Structure 1
Amino acid sequence: MESILQLDTDILIYLNSIRSLLWDNFFWIYTSTIIWVPLYVAITYVLFKRMGWQAVWVLLAVALTITLCDQISSSIFKPLFARPRPTREPHLEGILQLINDYRAGRFGFVSGHATNSFGLAIFLSLIFRKKYFAIFIYVWASLNAYSRIYAGVHYPGDILGGIILGTFIGWGVFKLYEYITIRHPKTNSIRETKFGSEVQFAVAVGVLSFVMIFLSSKILLKIMS
């Protein structure tokens, strides 16, 4: 176990050292909730456009997914394992490079960002069943998870644990949603819902958000220099 934990630390130090001011700005903006509001609105629009009022059931399932991911990772796993974040380890003080001196909370296993991102990504990819959307949402989730290593607030092991937990929760909530919609006589089964090119609109909004984040990062870099 000691050798595994040391490897986890070594990987963190190496990955955390690969950085620049541009990517500092990028990941700081990237992990802001408000920057992704247009994407969330676009996904909601696509759901209602194809499913009508029954999209409410999907949104409730999304809310359940996020709630379970957040509460299980933060209220159960973190206090249960009580693994200090790297930013709370005295022997890593001065070694890790932080963004705006952000240190986050006391415990880090598992990563809430990784859990939430992959829980949502798994659930939505199973709802839309479009390869291009799956690629986009998994890239989005992966960058969100990696940003925590880049910022020095999580070990890679915290991220891996969050990805696994989020995957199980997202898949489990989808299976529950699928079971309920199949059995409920007034609800169309998700198997009967065929999403078309409108999903491309949500992906386009997401890609545009990526571009805006990168351009904003470059503008900030010029202002800072």
Structure 2
Amino acid sequence: MNIIQKDKELLIFLNNLGNEYWDPFWLTVTDQRNWIPLFLLIMFLVIKKFGWKKGGFVFLAMIILVAFSDQFTNLIKNSVQRIRPNNDITIKYQLRTLISPQSFSFMSGHATTSTFFTVFVILLLKDAYKYVYFLLLFPMIFAYSRLYLGIHYPIDILVGILIGITFAKIYFYLFNKLDKKIFS
């Protein structure tokens, strides 16, 4: 069994489940700017739980998290240099692609960063807000949009999610260490 071939076959199957009716929805989902209301809600919840002083520290940690994740993902993409499915001549004509990024595919920055950010936020807020786990819908929908659009392979998404979860747990541990030194 060739895992790369199976990865391509799974993408073709998932991508071809789409149709023109849903295309505008998934194009909206994949654009980070359309998630600003969610980020504003998270900011509100952070301030409500921690107050302005510690909340500012949390925001700074979130900004560093996103910047680190973005740079790490770019490092991996530029090191691995896996061509995106929309640019892969062996399958691109079997895909429904609505956008055509030219950068590399492995691993998905959308999946990595959204999972990293969301799991970190959940770890921060889980004791204060019972429904905070609903935030997991964000990275799941956000990451799936990349398959729908035919611009990432399932392995790109899966690895991004796993790396995001791992980084979030490590980052939360380090955040708590620093938090205790600063606010104790």
TM-score normalised over the length of structure 1 = 0.76
Alignment correspondent of 2:174: 176
Partner Cα distance (1:165, 1:14) in 2: 25
What one-letter code is carried by the residue in structure 2 that aligns with 1:59? F
Alignment correspondent of 2:31: 32
Partner Cα distance (2:49, 2:165) in 1: 26
- The answer on 1:114 being equivalent to 2:89 is no
Partner Cα distance (2:49, 2:124) in 1: 12
Cα RMSD (Å) of the superposition? 1.4
Partner Cα distance (1:27, 1:15) in 2: 13
- The answer on 1:144 being equivalent to 2:123 is no
Q: Which moved more, 1:30-39 or 1:14-23?
A: 30-39
Partner Cα distance (1:63, 1:78) in 2: 21
- The answer on 1:85 being equivalent to 2:84 is yes
Alignment correspondent of 2:6: 7
- The answer on 1:97 being equivalent to 2:96 is yes
- The answer on 1:42 being equivalent to 2:46 is no
TM-score normalised over the length of structure 2 = 0.93
Partner Cα distance (2:95, 2:106) in 1: 18
2:46/2:125 contact within 8 Å kept = no
- The answer on 1:157 being equivalent to 2:170 is no
- Give the Å deviation of 1:170: 1.6
Q: Deviations over 1:153-208 (max 9, x none)?
A: 00000001111111122222111110111223xx15xxxxxxxxxxxxxxxxxxxx
Partner Cα distance (2:72, 2:102) in 1: 16
Partner Cα distance (2:40, 2:135) in 1: 15
What one-letter code is carried by the residue in structure 2 that aligns with 1:166? G
- Give the Å deviation of 1:105: 2.5
What one-letter code is carried by the residue in structure 1 that aligns with 2:24? N
Unpaired segments ≥5 residues, structure 2: none
1:88/1:106 contact within 8 Å kept = no
What one-letter code is carried by the residue in structure 1 that aligns with 2:115? F
Q: Which has the larger radius of gyration?
A: 1
- Give the Å deviation of 1:131: 4.6
Give the share of equivalent positions with the same residue, in percent.
31
Partner Cα distance (2:153, 2:9) in 1: 9
What one-letter code is carried by the residue in structure 1 that aligns with 2:57? W
1:64/1:173 contact within 8 Å kept = no
2:8/2:91 contact within 8 Å kept = no
Moved >3 Å (runs of 4+): none
Partner Cα distance (2:81, 2:42) in 1: 36
